[in-house]
C-alpha cells in the first residue's frame, strides 16, 4: 500500500495533530466539530496530507492551531497551553486520525465525512490502549459504508462514460468492469496491464483505482 508520505514523519505528525486537537478544544474552548471544520477549511489540512515537512515536523500543534484560526477567522489567539499529564481524549483523536490519514493516503475531508468528532470520542474508551490497527479497521469499515461506490465507479462517472464505453476505450472486458464495480472481483488483485489500461482511459493514475 502507498502511504501519504514518508514514515519518518509519522510519529511527529501524529503528535502535532494530537496536540492541535487538545489545545484547540481544551485550552481555546473550540468544539471538536468546529475545529474540524476550521482545519478542513484551512490550507493546513492539505499541506499535512501532502506530506509537507514544515507542517508535519516543523511546527508544533499550538502553532498549527494559531495558523488555522488566523487563516480561517482572521483572529490571533494567544492562549497559553495547559500542562497535561497523559494524553487526553482530544489528543488521541488527532493522533489516531493522523495515523489513519498517513496509512490510507485518504484526504482528511474524506475521513471526517465518515467519522465525526463524536465518533472519535466514543472510540477512545475502547481503542486508546489497543493496537492502532483496530482503529484502522473500524475507520475502513466506516469509509466503505459512507462511500459505497468503488474508486473505479467514482472515476468513471466523473469522467462521464458508461461501463460499455470504458470497456471499448480501455480494452478491458465489460464483464470485468462490472465485476470490479460490484466488488465481485478485487481490483487490487488486477494485473498491472489492466490497471494501466483503465487508468489511461480515465486519465488517472493506476493508484487512483486501488481500493484502500
Per-residue confidence band for 85, with pLDDT thresholds at 50, 70 and 90: low
Structural domain for 186, as ranges: 151-209
**Closest CA relative to residue 136, chosen from 109, 88, 99:** 99
Euclidean distance between CA atoms 205 and 71, whole angstroms:
32
Q: What is the pLDDT of residue 167?
A: 97
| C-alpha cell, 201 | 482511459
Euclidean distance between CA atoms 19 and 88, whole angstroms:
9
Q: Which of 208-212's residues contact partners 24+ apart within 8 Å by CB, and which partners?
A: 208/151, 208/155, 209/151, 209/152, 209/155, 210/2, 210/151, 211/150, 211/151, 211/186, 211/187, 212/1, 212/104, 212/105, 212/106, 212/140, 212/143
Task: Report if pTM > 0.85.
Answer: no
Does residue 125 sit in the same domain as residue 192? no
Does residue 124 sit in the same domain as residue 164? no
Say how many domains are in the chain. Answer: 2
Tell which of 146, 167, 198 closes a domain.
146
Does residue 139 sit in the same domain as residue 158? no
Tell which of 146, 168, 184 closes a domain.
146
Asked whether residue 1 is domain-assigned, the answer is no
- Mean predicted lDDT score pLDDT of the chain: 93
Amino acid at each position: 500500500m502507498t502511504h501519504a508520505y514518508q514514515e519518518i514523519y509519522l510519529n511527529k505528525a501524529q503528535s502535532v495533530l494530537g496536540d492541535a486537537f487538545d489545545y484547540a478544544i481544551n485550552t481555546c474552548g473550540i468544539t471538536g466539530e468546529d475545529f474540524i471544520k476550521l482545519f478542513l477549511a484551512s490550507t493546513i489540512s492539505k499541506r499535512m496530507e501532502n506530506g509537507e515537512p514544515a507542517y508535519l515536523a516543523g511546527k508544533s500543534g499550538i502553532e498549527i492551531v494559531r495558523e488555522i484560526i488566523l487563516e480561517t477567522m482572521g483572529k490571533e489567539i494567544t492562549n497559553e497551553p495547559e500542562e497535561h499529564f497523559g494524553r487526553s481524549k482530544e489528543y488521541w483523536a488527532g493522533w489516531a486520525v493522523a495515523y489513519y490519514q498517513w496509512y490510507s493516503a485518504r484526504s482528511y475531508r474524506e475521513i471526517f465525512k465518515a467519522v465525526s468528532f463524536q465518533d472519535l470520542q466514543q472510540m477512545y474508551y475502547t481503542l486508546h490502549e489497543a493496537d492502532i490497527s483496530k482503529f484502522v479497521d473500524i475507520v475502513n469499515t466506516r469509509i466503505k459504508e459512507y462511500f459505497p461506490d468503488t474508486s473505479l465507479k467514482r472515476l468513471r462517472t466523473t469522467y462521464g462514460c458508461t461501463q460499455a464505453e470504458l470497456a471499448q476505450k480501455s480494452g478491458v472486458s465489460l464483464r470485468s468492469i462490472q465485476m470490479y464495480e460490484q466488488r465481485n472481483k478485487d481490483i487490487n488483485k488486477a494485473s498491472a496491464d489492466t490497471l494501466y489500461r483503465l487508468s489511461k482511459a480515465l486519465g488517472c493514475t493506476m493508484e487512483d483505482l486501488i481500493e484502500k
